[in-house]
Amino acid sequence: MGFQTHKEQGEWAELCFVERARQIGLTLVKPYGNSSSYDVGIEHEGRLLRVQIKSTGFSRGGKYLFNLVGAQHTAYKPGLLDFYALYITPVDVWYVIPYDVAAQNTSACIRLDPSKDGHKYEEYFDAWHLLWK
């Protein structure tokens, strides 16, 4: 896509997330500043779900790699997030994965292969419905 920095790519992914979330009728809140552990909140029936948005265009062996680490290059701590929204930019595909599921992977890295049926995270492909449960 021609981004100059990872920050630019992240900002663009956040805009794409917001656009998609609004299209399906989700109510969004944005934390002020840049120091929160999440990028956007989803408000639903008095609850706030905290979502960290990640994007990648990098693949190895047909699998797209996501590093699930924060600004300090450390894994997100339990209780700070509810979901990851993972955007694969070259194929315009989203995965919505609960934090607890992603945290089971001890390497803080997730590999996604949207072209392969039955892959480990397939049930989270385009799983926007999880954000209003």
Q: What's the pTM value of the predicted model, to 2 decimals? A: 0.92
The total of other beta-carbon atoms located within 10 Å of residue 69's CB is 13
pLDDT of 52: 96
CATH code of 33's domain: 3.40.1350.10
Is 47 contained in some domain? yes
Is 91 contained in some domain? yes
- Which tokens belong to 113? 């292969």
pLDDT of 1: 60
Report the domain count for the chain.
Answer: 1
Q: Does the structure show a pLDDT above 80 at 2?
A: no
Q: What residue numbers bound the domain in which 81 lies?
A: 6-132
- Which tokens belong to 61? 């062996």
Is 1 contained in some domain? no
- Which tokens belong to 55? 């994007």
Q: What pLDDT, in 10s, does the model give residues 6-54?
A: 888 889 999 999 999 999 999 999 998 877 889 999 998 889 999 999 9
Is 67 contained in some domain? yes
